Structure 1
């Protein structure tokens, strides 16, 4: 089929082929399919990276155990954050590190404690001496958790760290630590019995993608 464009009182001035329009539509469809396939491939690659993170083994003793913040539930750590804290306590009691660094800012206006303060309170309640806990209260992201914790380490003359978080979060945390200049950072990873992995791993794919874009401009 052929389509013609007319001006009033004149002969045809332009002919647009229906076949040409069809070819354009096919090209657009192919381009969309390629983009969708690339997106799915990227998600698969990232999902595999997320699942490949493991606790450092053998784990060398370090100066600090850096516990990355997570949400507070009012005045107390959320169940997910308690899992990180309990695993950190286990490593501390095993002598894997001598001091904690707890990092995280205020979740919501009106909350009494920042994530860092909430973690400190929990550790003290579990018998950790207050002098063994260094606290950071400003971070709002994993990048800031590790950046501000590194500043504390530098100030305190600490050279090595075990980064404590959940397994699904380990790959991104390690990459950020390496980017920030941590010396041979180790991972202490715990699984979760209280969080939906479908939800958190899906969010981590997006967070990891954002991190890789951020890394391009560092």
Structure 2
């Protein structure tokens, strides 16, 4: 009488082998790490894209505001200062002042505020040079207010805001170069002024220099909107 041995059950090594379990764990860990890195890279890429879009929007705004002519009845025309040479406005400052000479007969404001201090060794301030230039070209001296302490746009506009508030005034028309118009407007608004801008159309800042300054201003405006223009002035002026 023959007997048969029971069949041997053969199990798959991959189902129970410790080596198989470790490989599965490693694969899962690799997938998890890869997924995390993909999320990090995606987030970084999105942040860079948003930063580029934010900068481009700021650049377009710098360009468009610099070409606006927001003429309106205001309390004062404010001229942003620039270099002067022993009492004579630089060509850049003269272009801004010439624009004021054109605006003054239109009766937009009863006052003109000229701005800008001096550097050690100068006999005249930017405000002094500007006032003399305007007076020689028909703007009455008794309507010209001098802000002659500021060494930056922010400092000058802060002094202008205090000067005008002391007279119960706050509506201003800022005259400057096109590339500088948006930052001047938003700085003045941060200081509590009601602002319009009218840029000179005879600016001596042209070509590649104008493009470079527009790009710099776009970066400044983009940062200033986040940290405030006072802090921006502390960093760059």
TM-score, normalising length: structure 1: 0.75
Deviation of the 1:82 alpha carbon: 1.1
Conserved 8 A contact 1:91-1:97: no
Partner of residue 154 from structure 1, selected from 155, 161, 165? 165
Deviation of the 1:34 alpha carbon: 5.2
CA distance in structure 2 between the partners assigned to 1:161 and 1:175 by the alignment: 12
Asked if 1:202 is matched to 2:215, the reply is yes
| 1:121 match | 132
Deviation of the 1:42 alpha carbon: 2.7
Partner of residue 69 from structure 2, selected from 36, 45, 55? 55
Would you tell me which structure has more strand in proportion to its own residues? 1
Residues 136-168 of structure 1 deviation map (CA, whole Å, 9 limit, x = unaligned): 111122222222111111223434321112222
Would you tell me which structure has more helix in proportion to its own residues? 2
| Partner-residue secondary structure (3-state), 1:55 | coil
Q: Give 1:51-200 correspondences, 5 Å limit.
A: 51-53=63-65, 54-56=68-70, 59-106=71-118, 108-183=119-194, 185-195=195-205, 196-200=209-213
| 2:17 match | none
User: Tell me, which stretches of 5 or more residues in structure 2 are unaligned?
Assistant: 1-32, 232-237
User: Tell me, which stretches of 5 or more residues in structure 1 are unaligned?
Assistant: 1-20
| Partner-residue secondary structure (3-state), 2:166 | helix
Conserved 8 A contact 2:128-2:146: yes
| 1:16 match | none
| Partner-residue secondary structure (3-state), 1:101 | strand
**Pair 199,73 (structure 1): closer, same or farther in 2 beyond 3 Å:** farther
CA distance in structure 2 between the partners assigned to 1:158 and 1:207 by the alignment: 28
Residues 157-215 of structure 1 deviation map (CA, whole Å, 9 limit, x = unaligned): 434321112222222222222222223x2222223441131122122123213422332
